[in-house]
Each structure stands twice: as C-alpha cells, then as structure tokens.
Amino acid sequence: MNAIWSNISPTVCLNTPFPYSRKIVNGSDFSQQMWLFRRNGTSGFSSSSTAEEVTDGIDGSGLTAIVTGASSGIGSETARVLALRGVHVVMGVRNVSAGKQVKEAIVNEIPAAKVEAMELDLSSMASVKKFASEFTSSGRPLNLLINNAGIMATPFKLSKDNIELQFATNHLGHFLLTNLLLDTMKRTAGETKREGRIVYVSSEAHRFSYREGICFDRLNDQEGYNRWLAYGQSKLANLLHANELARRLKEDGVEITVNSLHPGVVTTNLFRHFGVWGGNLGLVEGFLGTLGKLVFKNVQQGASTTCYLALHSQLKGTTGAYFADNNMAKANAKAEDTDVAKKLWDFSMDLIK
C-alpha cells in the first residue's frame, strides 16, 4: 500500500514547523497509533478507517473519475485508491510535473491502473475552461467528479480574474468546472444507467466564516480580509454549492448525487501557510509532536471519506448531505440556508460569465 509514498514528494510532516523542515514521516507510521475517536458509526467505519478499507471489495471497473488537486496529499491518495479499484482516473493538477510523478508511482504499484494527469489551475477560469474543453473533446464518459483541490489561509491576493484567491480557487474554480462538465456527467449517467456522483471536499472550517457567511458585497475587500475567515467562507461556499446543485439535480430527476465532506485534520502541504501565526513555532512543533499522533489523521485516513462517498453502495441515492469520518454529520445552519445557496449560485454564475 505504501509503495507510492516512496516515489513522490511526501506531504506528511510532523514534529516540524510545517513546511520549513523536511523531516518526513511515512503515512504508515501512524496506522497503529491510538485514536481518540475510533468507534465505528452507522456506516461500519470510523475516523481511523482508511480509503482502502472503506472501498474493500468494490469493483470500480468501467467508471471514469476526475480528481482535482491529485498531485499531493489526500488528492493523490484518492486517485491511487480509485485506480486500485479499477476506476479510470484523470488527475486535474496545477503542477503537471508533480502529477506525472504521482501517476508513475501509482502505475508502478498498480500496473493495471488507468491514470492520467491533465493541467488544471482552479484559480484561473481560462485554465478551468481549457481543461473542461479538452476532457469533453476526448469523448470520455464521466461518472465521478471529486472536487478536492484547495488552498488554505493564504495572505490576501487576487486571482488572475481579480477575485479573492481562496474563494476563486476553493469555490469558484470548482463551481465553473462542475458546470462545464455537468452535461457529460448527465449523458454518462443516462447511457450507462449508473448513478453519477459529485463529491466536494469541504471542511469543518465552514463553521468559522465571516459573520454574514458569504461576503457578497465585499469579496475583494483587502482591509477587512482575514485569511482564516476567508478560508471558512470558501469552505462554506463548497457546502452551499453542493446542496443547491443536489437540489436542482434531484428536482430535474437526474441520477447524479452531490455530497460534501470534512476529511479530518490531515497533515498535508495545506499547512504551508501556518507560519503566518507568528509567535513561537517551536511551541507549535511541540504540540504536533506530543498530540499529533492522537489527533491528526494520516493521508490514507484523510482520503477515506472521499472514497467512501465516491464508491460505496451504501450511498446510493444519498444526496445533499454532509459527512465526516465516513458517516453522515450535521453541517452548520448557514450551510443549509437555501436562500443563501440560491444567492451564491446566482452570484457565482455572474462571476463566471
């Protein structure tokens, strides 16, 4: 299972001030550690279940999936496990070189794997349109869309399209991508008579957005910008979009489900901006070293809920729901506000025109 991690740049780092040290901890080192919450839920799985465990015995042959942000972290593990189960995986990656390394590592471990890497920068609408155009032109079917890529707690910056970067990358890029690929997914579901699935990797951080939830009127306000609240805003937008899309597809009678999830606290390269905390990074390092093995998930565990939602038969027909630790969870009330979801939909449609 761990062959892939010896062939690509690792992203699991503990006992370090995050990205500023290169001491690497292999994901398997955590697999036998005691966990605070490992009781199985109604699904039969828990926070400590791995992506391989929740998909054990599932045959994904004949399915095609797009996984965004698949060049590292839980994205690459998601791609690996889907490929292991026979799914044809298209990795949408900003760093094509890193994506090719992941592809080679997967194929080295799983010779029969069907994996390819395509360039996709979700912060650029031009890049998203190019990716979607190339994919649809290929004539491939599309059964699974895993909206996984994201950035976290970045300093204030505008995207190439002059939109606050976290909102542009985490929400708007995926909103546009999903919109452009939806006809292909509908056609695939109709022709194959197999349920299509769209999975959004959100976060519990959706609970910690700005007071109004989504800052429709001051999205690009640098003066009022808070990198953590902006991250929460983008993750709240993921849930709102997923719920509204699920409602629309269900209303239209389309056999495509849409669900969102919190992957858990996973030590991946999303933590590269944690240095902005300032203060004593040694204190942070000590905290990670002492409690990290009890609290944080490894990448194999972090990708499990994504793979569970993508492939497990238990989820057939389930749509518009939020999951954590491979079980259904309760999202913040703001994420379930249908009026805000519709407003965000219209707002996003205007931005992508």
Residue-wise pLDDT tens digits, 299-329: 999 999 999 999 999 999 999 999 999 999 9
Instruction: Tell me which of 166-175, 221-230, 262-271 is least confident.
Output: 262-271
Tokens 């991508």 found at:
177
Q: Counting beta carbons within 10 angstroms of the beta carbon of residue 324, is it exposed (0 to 12), middle (13 to 18) or buried (19 or more)?
A: buried
What is the mean pLDDT of the segment spanning 14-38?
Answer: 36
pLDDT level of residue 296 (50, 70, 90 thresholds):
confident
Q: Residues with Cβ < 8 Å from 281, sequence gap 6 or more? A: 17, 20, 275
Q: What is the SS3 assignment for 189?
A: helix
- Tell me the two tokens of residue 45: 């799985």
29-52 pLDDT, tens digit per residue, is 333 344 445 689 999 999 999 999
Q: Which amino acid is at 207?
A: R
Q: The tokens 């919450």 sit on which residue?
A: 37
Residue 10 has pLDDT above 60, yes or no: no
Mean pLDDT of 284-306: 72
SS (H, E, C) 91-110: EEECCHHHHHHHHHHHHHHC
What is the per-residue pLDDT for 187? 98
d(CA 32, CA 119): 36
CA distances from 214 to 71, 259, 320, 339 (A): 29, 20, 19, 12
- The two tokens of residue 1 are 């299972």
User: Residue 251: pLDDT band by 50, 70, 90 thresholds?
Assistant: very high
Which residues touch 64 (CB under 8 Å, ≥6 apart)? Answer: 87, 88, 89, 90, 140, 141, 142, 143, 144, 188
Integer Cα distance of 219 and 234 in angstroms: 11
Beta-ladder partners of 67? 91, 146
Q: What is the mean pLDDT of residues 89-112?
A: 98
How many degrees, rounded to 5, is the angle at CA 174 between CA 102 and CA 326? 70
Q: Give pLDDT, residue 292.
A: 53
Active site residues: 225
Confidence of residue 116 (pLDDT cuts 50, 70, 90): very high
- Structure-block tokens of residue 7: 């062939």
Entry pTM: 0.86
Q: What percent of the chain has pLDDT over 90?
A: 80
Cα–Cα dist 141/137, whole Å: 11
pLDDT of 295 reads 65
Q: Which residues pair with 261 in a beta bridge?
A: 201, 323
d(CA 93, CA 152): 17
Q: The tokens of 230 are what?
A: 């902006």
Nearest Cα residue to 172 out of 115, 230, 224: 230
pLDDT at 27 over 60: no
* Tokens, residue 78: 């998601």
Comparison of pLDDT for 196 and 36, the residue scoring more: 196
Beta-strand pair 322-324/327-329: antiparallel
Distance CA 179, CA 177 (A): 5
Q: Which two tokens stand for residue 81?
A: 């496990």
Q: Cα torsion at 57, 261, 178, 172 (round to 10°)? A: -150
Alpha-carbon dihedral angle through residues 157, 72, 335, 348, given to the nearest 10 degrees: 50
Share of the chain above pLDDT 70, in %: 81
Q: Cα 85 vs. chain centroid, distance in angstroms? A: 19
Flag whether pLDDT at 181 surpasses 90. Answer: yes
**Do residues 74 and 299 touch, judged by C-beta distance below 8 A?**
yes
Looking at every residue in the chain, the average pLDDT score rounds to: 87
